[in-house]
Amino acid sequence: MADIEEHTRRLAAESLSSDDPTGWFERLYAQAERGETAVPWDRGAPHQLLAEWSAGLRGEGRRALVVGCGYGADAEHLAGLGFRTDAFDVSATAVDGARRRFPGSPVHYAVADLLEPPGERAGAYDLVVESLTVQSLPDTLRGQAIAAVRRFVAPGGTLLVIASARGEGPVEGPPWPLTRAEVESFSGEDLQAARIEAIPAEADPAVVRWRAEFRRSDRPASSTS
């Protein structure tokens, strides 16, 4: 696995140095497709922190969006809870892979760039899940990515953010784990933090993950009454 992570970092570094900060995702998924490497975050299952958070949740009659969906395990989980689920990723090969893994899935998968989000998705979702995508983008794009995630949440809706927590010392990313201040910065406009948890990983308590929940008020920010 160390080799896979090193290879991933090398791909990312090449991409960043040619001013193409997201190009490496497609290259990595395409190489994995050809059997030349593996995708380090491919768990083949929904993220544990999402699965625990959503236990008992019913999504019927509500819309969910998964940002940077990869091979789709989180999106399928939400669809299984009854949400009408959309999911997108900047990598066409990842999206093809998700469709192939889950034939007949009710999830609507699309290729799209979080940094150029389609306008029709703004304010459209009762639940938005962002898991590990913002931390895979360099610092220079964080603010833009976070603002784009925030805009998807409908009035009265919820945003769930899952990320690694930045520890002491320098970081050689990707990923570039998030500081508490970065997690808090998902709030804004009329989206407010409801709960921010720092959760040690079971396998290694020195590794801490953020699970943060934000809610948008029922009324648009521009409302005066």
Write out the residues near ligand SAM by the rule CB under 6 A. 22, 25, 41, 47, 68-70, 74, 89-91, 94, 113-115, 131-133, 136-137
Tokens of 134: 């913002």
**SS3 state of residue 89:** strand
Q: Which is nearer to ligand SAM, 137 or 154 (CB)?
A: 137
Position with the least CB separation from ligand SAM:
68
Task: Work out how close the CB of 77 gets to ligand SAM at its nearest, in angstroms, rounded to a whole number.
Answer: 11
Task: Work out how close the CB of 39 gets to ligand SAM at its nearest, in angstroms, rounded to a whole number.
Answer: 8
Within a 13 Å sphere around the CA of 195, how many CA atoms are in the beta-carbon half?
8
* Distance in angstroms (rounded) separating the CA atoms of residues 94 and 160: 22
Q: Which is nearer to ligand SAM, 17 or 224 (CB)?
A: 17
* Distance in angstroms (rounded) separating the CA atoms of residues 37 and 8: 9
Q: Which is nearer to ligand SAM, 74 or 182 (CB)?
A: 74
Task: Work out how close the CB of 30 gets to ligand SAM at its nearest, in angstroms, rounded to a whole number.
Answer: 11
Task: Work out how close the CB of 218 gets to ligand SAM at its nearest, in angstroms, rounded to a whole number.
Answer: 28
Helices (H) and strands (E) in the chain, counts: 7, 7
**Surface-to-core class of residue 205, CB atoms within 10 Å of its CB (0-12 exposed, 13-18 middle, 19+ buried):** exposed
Q: Which is nearer to ligand SAM, 116 or 168 (CB)?
A: 116
Task: Work out how close the CB of 201 gets to ligand SAM at its nearest, in angstroms, rounded to a whole number.
Answer: 14
Question: CB-based contacts of 29: which residues, under 8 Å, 6+ apart?
Answer: 39, 91, 93, 94, 97
Q: Which is nearer to ligand SAM, 98 or 191 (CB)?
A: 98
